[in-house]
Structure 1
Amino acid sequence: MKNWYKLLCGLLLAIQVVSAQTKNGKTFTIIPLGVKGGLDESNLSAYLLKPTGGTQYICLDGGTVRAGLQQAITHHVFPGRASDVLKSQVRAYFISHPHLDHVEGMLQNAPDDSAKALYGLPFCLNIIQDKYFNWKSWGNFADAGDPPALGKFRYMPMDSGVATPIADLDLEVSAYPLRHSAPGQSTAFLVKHQSSYLLYLGDTGPDALEGGNNLRQLWEAVSPILKARQLKGIMIETSFPNEQSDHALYGHLTPHWLMTELAVLDSLAGPGSLKGLPVLITHIKPVGNNEARIKVQLAKGNALGVKLLFPQQAQVITL
């Protein structure tokens, strides 16, 4: 009887928590495993994401994994061991592009990881297969490529703009191509849970410098969602302060270029649509006082009135 009573109390508590979260309008829970744009191998781009109230995560990029999970355990976000969380609660990776600061942790932990789906646009998965999981750079822990293919990770190529349901997580994810130091490529992932959305962008430069209209096309796809007030937030990079010259950006954004691009989205959705929207600044290069300068410049240039947030490793964010 005691066990049944404890189980019933636990279920009631879980219902109360989910109800409170729904009332507060919090749809997504984000746990940053790494937030920096290179250099610090213990803090590279990777973000756990789940529907608030759930227990299973997807991981947006995989630059730092185990070190980030260990930080989350130290901050009492998870109990137990990092390897246990990785194996039992992280269901899939979504990789924006195959640069090392976005895949290093995923690769390093593959030998001790559990079976997972590996999602991305074909260009990204092809490079991971050909350049990393090839028995020259690293063992082939995936289900295709140079033999023997160990089959731990399942390649799941995505079609641009097509929603992919994630089984048992009540999530759908759509991928949109980006340019990253043309002709380099990257990806934006639009995550949907019920009627709410979160937009995550991998590394990208502004259309004016990248020589294409990838961001414009992304903004056109997202603007109806923003206009309908279904977009919970945008996670987007600002790697350098405004002092960085355009020819030395290498496919990245500054505060000036970020606000220029967001102004395009605002105009498409209707002036004022971005006011108060959480915009999470990712991929700041940890050099000198870059972060301090970027924060000041973003605040000064925030004519759109977005809510600027700066994710920190292992600090939980709900949107």
Structure 2
Amino acid sequence: MEIPSASATTNAGHVTRQLIDTYLITHPHLDHISGFIINTAGLPGARLKRLAGLPSTISAFKQHIFNNVIWPNLSDENNGAGLVTYMRLVEGGSPALGEGAGKGYLEISDGIGVKLFSVSHGHCMEKHPHRGSSASSRYGSFDASAVTASPRGVPGSTAASGPPSLFRNSVASQDKESICVYDSSAYFIRDSATGREVLMFGDVEPDSISLSPRNQGIWQEAAPRIANGNLAAIFIECSYDNSQTDDCLFGHLTPRYVIDEMKSLAAAVEMARQAPSKLESTKKRKREAEKAHNGADNAGTAQGDDRAVSPKSTRPAKKGPSSTSGAEHGGIDTPHIATPTAEMSLDFEVNITPVIQAPQFANALRGLKVVIIHVKEKLVDGDAPRDTILAQLQEAEEEAQLGCEFVISSAGQSFLL
């Protein structure tokens, strides 16, 4: 990549105007979208910018940002200025796109494909069922701009359309659906030429305390990619250190929960690594069983015995002089001890050294880089939150021994993956 100027700010303007054309938005909170919004108006380029995300994320931009109230309508919809075009992504990828390992990935730039999954970013404290996912019945993403509703998201007398999780036929059912879950996203970003990928989360909460746990589905998607060495890094938030209580997490992670999620990922990776060997073992047992069965059939035919004999069955030895011991013992030969028991020495040394068991899933994530993003600064004296978080993660990793490397991101940092 060539840069035109010796000035960092001029180069930043060049990158924004000319090189970046697509923005992957995980969710429409201001701390994740404000730079995009302001720069789109202040640094217009030669072509319009593409804003990609869940349909519900696009809907939030249309209703609450590019609405000529909070900000001018810079989009190419609803008679806007035409600086931004929306890309509503299909959750889980489109099965009609790509093939092989790249199946379902949407190419958003030359040689770069993405696949999007939704995750939970906590529940809304206000009682309204209109935003994000339902805690008890998740309908999925949709474009809420087509929904007619009265203020505060409660359906008005004319509201007649929308997902069934949003509109109920009675006030009682509406009260029952009083808690909504705020959707965020995670993106698998794939280099088409090499097959290498990274997984990038927006804000996300742990499955263990979520009203709509979805992280496990992400880990199951990531596991085979880690097992075959294609997934190089995970970018995941850790907003607070472990001193933050659960009731004040607001849909975010702490080191203890990052480790819990990595343990879930490690378990999924181990299963992915064992899957091919289990399949081969099953095929091998089947071949051996068929071979033994065919051998038994051939032996029975040669002896004039047409009775079917299972490969797992054995024919007991006949009683009589042919027995090796010459004793009548039910026709079954039993092993015997050559040395008289009186001459056997039973003296032996007992090793009572305690055995230290390796942690479960030890080194399951070896080679994986986990980059911590979205650390919230406290702006007070004392240790920086990033230093505390990294220390707590490394201490937990030393105990869990998952094998991954934790890195705290910083402004201007780059990674060679």
Q: TM-score range by the shorter chain?
A: 0.7 to 0.9
The equivalent residue for 2:253 is: 253
Confirm whether residue 187 of structure 1 aligns to residue 185 of structure 2.
yes
1:98 to 24, 28, 33: 28
Q: Which runs of 5+ in 1 are unaligned?
A: 1-53, 56-69
The equivalent residue for 2:409 is: 311
Write the distance in 2 (CA, Å) between the matches of 1:120 and 1:167: 12
Residue aligned with 1:315, SS: coil
- Stretch moving more, 220-229 or 100-109: 220-229
1:169 Cα deviation after fit: 1.7
Residue aligned with 2:21, SS: strand
The equivalent residue for 1:293 is: 388
CA contact (8 A) 1:238 1:258 kept: yes
Write the distance in 2 (CA, Å) between the matches of 1:313 and 1:108: 19
The equivalent residue for 1:89 is: 19
State the AA in 2 paired with 1:88: Q
The equivalent residue for 1:176 is: 117
State the AA in 2 paired with 1:313: A
Write the distance in 2 (CA, Å) between the matches of 1:166 and 1:265: 26
Write the distance in 2 (CA, Å) between the matches of 1:312 and 1:149: 36
The equivalent residue for 1:216 is: 216
1:185 Cα deviation after fit: 1.0
The equivalent residue for 2:67 is: 134
CA contact (8 A) 2:364 2:403 kept: no
Residue aligned with 2:114, SS: strand
1:179 Cα deviation after fit: 0.5
1:100 Cα deviation after fit: 0.5
Residue aligned with 2:122, SS: coil
State the AA in 2 paired with 1:139: P
1:113 Cα deviation after fit: 2.4
State the AA in 1 paired with 2:406: L
1:73 Cα deviation after fit: 5.9
Write the distance in 2 (CA, Å) between the matches of 1:139 and 1:317: 36
1:280 to 367, 371, 378: 371
* Aligned positions, number: 246
Residue aligned with 1:273, SS: coil
Residues 167-226 of structure 1, C-alpha deviations (whole Å, 9 max, x = no match): 552011011001101211100000011311100000000011112231011111111111
State the AA in 1 paired with 2:19: Q
Where does structure 1 differ by over 4 angstroms across 4 or more consecutive aligned residues?
Answer: none
Write the distance in 2 (CA, Å) between the matches of 1:266 and 1:260: 10
Q: Which runs of 5+ in 2 are unaligned?
A: 94-103, 124-180, 271-360
CA contact (8 A) 1:238 1:284 kept: yes
1:273 Cα deviation after fit: 2.8
Higher relative contact order (CA closer than 8 Å, sequence separation 6+): 1
1:153 to 79, 84, 103: 84
1:140 Cα deviation after fit: 0.7
CA contact (8 A) 2:196 2:230 kept: yes
Write the distance in 2 (CA, Å) between the matches of 1:209 and 1:187: 18
1:136 Cα deviation after fit: 0.1
CA contact (8 A) 1:175 1:190 kept: yes
CA contact (8 A) 1:226 1:273 kept: no
Residue aligned with 2:256, SS: helix
Residue aligned with 2:13, SS: helix
CA contact (8 A) 1:158 1:164 kept: no
1:164 Cα deviation after fit: 4.0
The equivalent residue for 2:196 is: 196
Write the distance in 2 (CA, Å) between the matches of 1:136 and 1:222: 41
Confirm whether residue 165 of structure 1 aligns to residue 163 of structure 2.
no
The equivalent residue for 2:268 is: 268
Which of the two has greater strand per residue?
1
Write the distance in 2 (CA, Å) between the matches of 1:164 and 1:278: 23
CA contact (8 A) 1:190 1:199 kept: yes
Write the distance in 1 (CA, Å) between the matches of 2:238 and 2:67: 33
CA contact (8 A) 2:108 2:114 kept: no
State the AA in 2 paired with 1:292: D
1:82 Cα deviation after fit: 2.3
1:134 Cα deviation after fit: 0.3
- 1:164/1:200 CA distance change after superposition, 3 Å: same
Superposition pairs for residues 60-79 of structure 1, below 5 Å?
74=8
Residues 245-278 of structure 1, C-alpha deviations (whole Å, 9 max, x = no match): 0111000000000000010011011133312311
